[in-house]
Structure 1
Amino acid sequence: MKALLIIPTYNEVENIQRLLDILLKGNQDLEILVLDDNSPDGTARVVKEMMEQETRIHLIERPGKMGLGSAYVTGFKYALQKDFEFIMEMDADFSHNPDDVPRLLEAAQKCDLVIGSRYSNGVNIINWPFKRLLISYFASKYVRIITSMPIKDPTGGFKCFRRKVLESINLDKILSDGYAFQIEMNFRAWAKGFRIKEVPIVFTERINGVSKMSRNIVWEAAWMVWHLQIRKMLGSLH
């Protein structure tokens, strides 16, 4: 099983070394690709130091903050070029529990896309303000209503793709970033008939560092679902 875990970073020096240590110790067959957007706090430097001792760590440095979606697209292309069968997404801030990685990989043996879901078994989020929790929960409902996707957590960023899913999608045509990127990738996979499974996880809001959430990310997600659904209806979603 050849698996690559993609981790975009920007100012994650407080988290990255501990996260990579835990991931590598708990997953002997896993390789990790860090995509750093020129973090001024030295995140890439820490990764480079770890690479001297661990060949399963890889790094792509980008010139500046270019967005979450473009980071993952870069990582997806790298994974396909290097012949990885399973390609995972994960946040760098411990909001996703590294102990859940084996669960997602195991589920991916029988599915094409596995989503670590905050909402598949109730609401499993720790340390979010009640207002943000409500917005996220009802945003997920909104996405399901507009798109008809049978996914309870369409904006979640803890996922595992089989390579055939990414091979079927024109990655150069991906339109969105942030939460909208997660929605778009799920929608494209679902529209192509791939098998999707949600695995319950507990999402814990970051303790170290600063959240990357912004109002623009929310608005992008709000209009993107209409754009995707209309293109699907017109037969122009490729």
Structure 2
Amino acid sequence: MTTTQREPVTRVAVLIPTYNERENLPGIIARVRSTVPGADVLVLDDSSPDGTGQIADDLAGSDPQVRVVHRAVKEGLGKAYLAGFARVLDEGYDAIVEMDADGSHLPEQLPSLLAALGDADVVIGARWVRGGEVRNWPARRKVLSVGANVYTKVLLGMPVNDATAGYRVYRASALRTMGLQGVESQGYCFQIDLTLRAVRAGLTVVEVPITFVEREVGVSKMGRDIVREALTSVTRWGIEHRVGQLRSLAGRARGRQPVGERS
């Protein structure tokens, strides 16, 4: 198999969306800056009522490689990331990282994800692959995540084991190829949506095993609405995918019929 030569990555932007993460944000940013000193950090704060935005401003004031985007209202993970993507793409970054602010995504594993970008367009920090691990999750949460990923993989026919994972790196060229203008998804569904767009665009998606650690401080943003959105959207996309396959098979079958037998 021929390996596509990819441009080296020199400018990296780490996007960290926040909503009420004042206890977690300083430590995460410090660890990112220590682990990948050349990377710039862009905090995307959705007007956190707990003062996270001000803390982010204070951190930015003491470090020129940290910046903050203050968003007027809480619109969810997907909208925050899309705003961040638009900004850093305009600024000429080569690679864009998605990372949670709650400590579940270990900054110390970011070099491994960035290294894998040498042979990929999209790198996913995956929990449900050999070498991946989840710490401090209850059994119910593990079952939900594994089940969602199996359902997604089977229904959409994607060769990805952890499409819901939120720790990932995109080449800028990949994001420009994926058609982000039509993305309306949030939460789990946002990650599945972008994974599906990458696969359908013919991009190379690589999964790197990570250790995912449940947050110790603050409240999880995972709710029933997020799960419901993912289930509904994946089901709809899956039906569309299977219908498309059937139509393609039917078209090929008609094309193989002898001329005299065609209606």
Give the aligned partner of residue 103 of structure 1: 112
Q: Secondary structure of the residue that 2:164 maps to in structure 1? A: coil
Give the aligned partner of residue 49 of structure 1: 58
Give the aligned partner of residue 171 of structure 1: 180
The alignment-based identity, stated in percent, is 38
C-alpha separation between the residues in 2 aligned to 1:171 and 1:138? 27
Matches within 5 A, 1:64-79: 64-79=73-88
Cα shift at 1:211: 0.3
C-alpha separation between the residues in 2 aligned to 1:228 and 1:164? 25
Contiguous gaps of at least 5 residues in structure 1: none
Cα shift at 1:234: 5.2
Residue of 142, 145, 151 corresponding to 1:142: 151
CA deviations over 1:129-169 (Å, ceiling 9, x no partner): 11111111111100001001111101000000001111012
Matches within 5 A, 1:116-155: 116-121=125-130, 124-155=133-164
Give the aligned partner of residue 219 of structure 1: 228
Cα RMSD after superposing both structures: 1.4
User: What amino acid does structure 2 have at the position aligned with 1:59?
Assistant: V
User: What amino acid does structure 2 have at the position aligned with 1:157?
Assistant: G
Cα shift at 1:126: 0.7
| TM-score, normalisation: structure 1 | 0.95
Contact 2:14 2:40 in 1 (8 A): yes
| TM-score, normalisation: structure 2 | 0.86
Give the aligned partner of residue 249 of structure 2: none
Contiguous gaps of at least 5 residues in structure 2: 1-9, 246-263
C-alpha separation between the residues in 1 aligned to 2:90 and 2:240? 29
CA deviations over 1:95-140 (Å, ceiling 9, x no partner): 0111011111111122000000001116611111111111111111
Contact 1:184 1:228 in 2 (8 A): no
1:194 aligns with 2:203: yes
Residue of 11, 14, 17 corresponding to 1:5: 14
C-alpha separation between the residues in 2 aligned to 1:162 and 1:92? 21
Residue of 27, 39, 55 corresponding to 2:36: 27
C-alpha separation between the residues in 1 aligned to 2:70 and 2:163? 28
C-alpha separation between the residues in 2 aligned to 1:37 and 1:10? 6
Cα shift at 1:226: 2.8
Q: Give the structure with higher Rg (CA).
A: 2
Q: Secondary structure of the residue that 1:108 maps to in structure 2? A: helix
Q: Secondary structure of the residue that 1:40 maps to in structure 2? A: coil
Cα shift at 1:172: 2.1
Contact 2:124 2:208 in 1 (8 A): yes
Cα shift at 1:231: 4.9
Give the aligned partner of residue 157 of structure 1: 166
Q: Secondary structure of the residue that 1:227 maps to in structure 2? A: helix
User: What amino acid does structure 2 have at the position aligned with 1:22?
Assistant: R
Residue of 55, 59, 74 corresponding to 2:68: 59
Q: Secondary structure of the residue that 2:118 maps to in structure 1? A: coil
Give the aligned partner of residue 93 of structure 1: 102
